[in-house]
Structure 1
Amino acid sequence: MLRIHFMQQWFGLSDVAMEEALYDTPLYREFSGLGGISRLPDRVSILGFRHLLERHELAEQFLKTVNERLSAKGFMLREGTVVDATLIAAPSSTKNKDGERDPEMHQAKKGNQWHFGMKAHVRPESRLNFGLTQRAVRRD
């Protein structure tokens, strides 16, 4: 739950958005260490944990400790945004009005499979932020 709380802060996600992100984003599930989808907490559990941290004034202390450890390893924390580069499939015979393929359509390989279409780089809408939004970035 603490890792989920950190992800909420780093990516500025509400409780509802965090629940959805855990279901939608394998990287979030992997980082949380909770295993399969059947073990993921719902928004009420996420809210309850956040309120527990707030009630005991632990959130800032935990984040400060994590920031110090990351900094000692050469990372610095900055505000972050998750970007989903989704492939939007199109039939390979798609042509524009001049009878040519759309120049923005390309082939892309996802896993071991090729797809024709375009990439949609989608940034989630700005969400309610509960303070201290940061993400780790390697300093070199």
Structure 2
Amino acid sequence: MTKTTILNFRHLLEKHQLTEKLIVEVNTHLADQGITLRSGTLVDATIIGAPCSTKNEAKARDPEMSSTKKGNDWYFGMKAHVGVDADSGIVHSLQTTTAKVHDSQVWDDLLHGKETSVWADKGYVSTAREAAFSGAGKFWGVMRKAAIGGKLHPIEEDINRIIAKVRALVEHPFRVIKRQFGYINTRYRGLAKNRAQFFTLFALGNLFLVRRKLMA
């Protein structure tokens, strides 16, 4: 198989958004094997760095990537936002943006709509979303955030510790992509090409995460 054939095949996948359909097919297969979505969704995002090199014809960095600050460090690249099943740990929803887009802006895209619980870090705090999600049998598992200059009540600190333990599962898909698959930096220029690859990687990542159940 020539490089041109591989390139044309990749362009075909991108043009028709077939990798987005791939993750749906994978999850449908998992559901057929008894690995179905439950009632809880974990929401999170990870930064994927983009090369800062200007070794291209335009002598410029990728204009579709951007910078964001996390802690005391700055990162240049894009983000992968995921909705993860709280029971199995598989990714059921995926969205991609440039790095500067705040995590909470794609919240609605990451829920399947039948959740009885949602779990996320303090970056997703929203009074409006919390009020909309309230109701019998529902739990708002977004970590509590103290007011500026204030402190959390001990009960809220205990709640945060519980939420943190549940949320730990959301890191597993990111670990697979970055450690097992070695995907730390983007491979292509532009959001569309990298987005297509993300969907493929997370689809394969889902299979990797439940491989023992599939082989049992």
Greater fraction helix: 2
- Both structures adopt the same fold (TM-score exceeding 0.5): no
TM-score, normalising length: structure 2: 0.22
TM-score, normalising length: structure 1: 0.32
